[in-house]
Amino acid sequence: QVQMVQSGPEVKKPGSSVKVSCRASGGTSNNYVIGWVRQAPGQGLEWLGRIIPALDLRDYAQKFQGRVTITADGSSRTAFLELSDLRSDDTAIYYCAKERTNTDPALESWGQGTLVTVSS
Amino acid sequence: EIVLTQSPGTLSLSPGERATLSCRASKSVLSNYFAWYQQTPGQPPRLLIYGTSNRATGIPDRFSGGGSGTDFSLTISRLEPEDFAVYYCQQYDGSPTFGQGTKVEIK
């Protein structure tokens, strides 16, 4: 069973950028897809994008186009989410999750979440 | 973007009762691309159902999913104490979106 381990909490100023990491541990396949979802305090879930590390292919939610960059380092099985031009309403828990299969985007294994706080 | 609307917003039930949660899509969704998640306080979401009706690994059979087109449902046949949580539907027929959530609380 693959476990997703994320980096620690971040506090950022408005207008700055944040980069969150997510490492896949366990499992043997390098053929996987990682998605990113965020959850503002007391709110629901919002999909930001995904990456297929083996193919270096990525897909972003239209809302975040131009502000979000998802990358991956296949050798360390680590994915990264970078969000730029941060605003106060970007304050949220950011989750990574492994998709169930390459053809089924249901999010099967979730990281513990990374709290990003944007405050002046 | 496909908008998912969940109902009711809150469901107040007692342990042992049956829970039926609904999710309506703004346009038709392929059944292969519909899922349900459970989230308890302080925890990440957990995949319950994928492909509309398939239980994820380790999910007990009191959870069942169904539906097609624009109307989908999650049923919990007999509520256990650990089932009181927030439930989200998700479609991934195109750019993924989530519903706003249904909270199942103890009556």
- CB-based contact A44 B45, cutoff 8 Å: no
B87 to chain A, any CB pair closer than 8 A? The answer is no
Question: Which amino acid, residue A3?
Answer: Q
CA atoms of B27 and A96, how far apart (whole Å): 27
Count of residues making up chain B: 107
What are the pLDDT digits (tens) for A3-16? 999 999 999 999 99
- CB-based contact B56 A106, cutoff 8 Å: yes
Nearest alpha carbon to residue B36 among B9, B60, B71, B72 = B72
- CB-based contact A110 B45, cutoff 8 Å: yes
Instruction: Give the position of tokens 């239980």.
Output: B55
A110 to chain B, any CB pair closer than 8 A? The answer is yes
Calculate what percentage of chain A has a pLDDT beyond 90.
86
* pLDDT over threshold 80, residue A30: no
Tell me the shortest Cα–Cα distance from A96 to chain B, in angstroms. 10
**B-chain residues within 8 Å CB-CB of A62?**
1, 95
DSSP A69-116: EEEEEGGGTEEEEEE-S--GGG-EEEEEEEEEETTEEEEEEE---EEE
- CB-based contact A100 B50, cutoff 8 Å: yes
Question: Which amino acid, residue A112?
Answer: Q
Res. A66 pLDDT band, cuts 50 70 90: very high
What are the pLDDT digits (tens) for A69-107? 999 998 889 999 999 999 999 999 999 999 999 889 999
CB environment A70-105: b (16+ within 10 A), e (fewer): bebeeeebbbbbebeebeeebbbbbbbbbbbeeebb
Tell me the shortest Cα–Cα distance from B55 to chain A, in angstroms. 11
The answer to whether the beta carbons of residues A102 and A52 sit under 8 Å apart is yes
Output the CA torsion sign for A19, A25, A29, A35. negative
CA atoms of A19 and A84, how far apart (whole Å): 9
The answer to whether the beta carbons of residues B89 and B96 sit under 8 Å apart is no
- CB-based contact B44 A108, cutoff 8 Å: no
Tell me the shortest Cα–Cα distance from A13 to chain B, in angstroms. 25
